[in-house]
């Protein structure tokens, strides 16, 4: 079983709508959690990073939350744009790094 | 400044041939990673280099896969006797420090390998 589980696997929303992506992990010990965005045909790019003492971090229209007690994180996208269409990957750092399988988001006009 | 570069961008090879993929990390980055990403799938860790320490090869799927890195510069990933299941995008990333310290990884554009 993967130590980092993301849901949903894929998501389709209309432009302008909000959405929330989930990441649950069992990685221990835990030191940090990072969300990456991967556009089709490109390498992933970091959006946010949080340590165990942080419970929210924003980057423009992207807001990540972390609950280290329940080992859950979410990425909220506000007022989605067509360019938000991508895969969003949750990566949890501990003794090494564990990748989630990603959520494929499609924003339609 | 220059990001992570990879070459070739695309490689088509016949089953059974050897291939060599190259990664040029960002200057000064001590950590370097290789990943494999099959179509529509998540990133699969292959190998991690950190400075002059012994690399973490725990993700290499078989002994046909090997990687080298010269100091803190260029790395090559070699796949011997390629199989069709090796077809994927191979991504390289580099970062400033230890992976457990959460340094951001900067990814290259990848090499798309197709084994016919």
Q: What is the DSSP string of chain B?
A: ----EEE-SEEEE-TT--EEEEEEPPTT--EEEEEEE-TT---EEEEEEETTSPPB-TT--STTEEEEE-TTS-EEEEE-S--GGG-EEEEEEEESS-GGGTPPPEE---EEEEE-
Inter-chain contact B105–A32, Cβ cutoff 8 Å? no
The pLDDT of A73-86, averaged and rounded, is 98
Q: pLDDT tens across B4-50, in order?
A: 999 999 999 999 999 999 999 999 999 999 999 998 888 899 999 99
* pLDDT score at A7: 96
Nearest to A93 among B93, B100, B109 (CB): B100
**Residue A103 near residue A11, CB atoms below 8 Å:** yes
Report yes or no: B71 at the A interface, CB cutoff 8 Å: no
**Tens digit of each residue's pLDDT (9 = 90 or more) over B83-105:** 999 999 999 999 998 877 778 89
More confident residue, A82 or A42: A82
Of B43, B100, B107, the CB nearest to A99: B43
pLDDT at A77: 98
B42-62 tens-digit pLDDT: 889 999 999 888 999 999 999
Q: How many CB pairs under 8 A join A and B?
A: 52
Q: What is the pLDDT of residues A41-78, one digit of tens each?
A: 889 999 999 988 899 999 999 999 999 999 999 999 99
* Cβ pair A43:B99 closer than 8 A: no
Q: What distance in Å separates residue B110's CA from the closest CA in chain A?
A: 7
Question: What is the DSSP track for chain A?
Answer: --SEEEE-SEEEEETT--EEEEEEE--SS--EEEEEEE-TTS--EEEEEEETT--EEEETTEEEEEETTTTEEEEEE-S--GGG-EEEEEEEESSSEEE---EEEEEE-
Tokens 């390498």: give the residue: A43
Under the banding of pLDDT at 50, 70 and 90, the label for residue B1 is low
Exposed (0-12), middle (13-18) or buried (19+): which is B6, by Cβ within 10 Å? Answer: buried
Mean pLDDT of chain B: 93
pLDDT at A1: 62
B91 inside 8 A of chain A by CB: yes
Q: Considering CB atoms only, which of A31, A43, A95 is closest to B91?
A: A43
CA distance B102 to chain A (A): 6
Residue A94: predicted pLDDT: 81
pLDDT grade for B72, boundaries at 50, 70 and 90: confident
A71 Cβ under 8 Å from any chain B Cβ: no
């Amino acid at each position: 079983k993967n130590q980092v589980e993301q849901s949903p696997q894929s998501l389709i929303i209309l432009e302008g709508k909000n959405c929330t992506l989930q990441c649950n992990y069992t990685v221990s010990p835990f030191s940090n959690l990072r969300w990456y965005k991967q556009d089709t045909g490109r390498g992933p790019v970091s959006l946010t990073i949080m340590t165990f003492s942080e419970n929210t971090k924003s980057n423009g229209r992207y807001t990540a939350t972390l609950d280290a007690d329940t080992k859950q994180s979410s990425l909220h996208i506000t007022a989605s744009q067509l360019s938000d269409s991508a895969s969003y990957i949750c990566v949890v750092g501990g003794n090494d790094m564990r990748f989630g399988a990603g959520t494929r988001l499609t924003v339609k006009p | 400044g220059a990001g992570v570069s990879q070459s070739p961008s695309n490689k088509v090879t016949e089953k059974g041939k050897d291939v060599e993929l190259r990664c040029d990390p960002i200057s000064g980055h001590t950590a370097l990673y290789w990943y494999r990403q099959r179509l529509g799938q998540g990133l699969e860790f292959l190998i991690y280099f950190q400075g002059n320490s012994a690399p973490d090869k725990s993700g290499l799927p078989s002994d046909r896969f090997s990687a080298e890195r010269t100091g803190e510069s260029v790395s090559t990933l070699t796949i011997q006797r390629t199989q069709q299941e090796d077809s994927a995008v191979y991504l390289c990333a580099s970062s400033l420090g230890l992976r457990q310290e959460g340094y951001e990884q900067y990814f290259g554009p990848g090499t798309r390998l197709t084994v016919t």
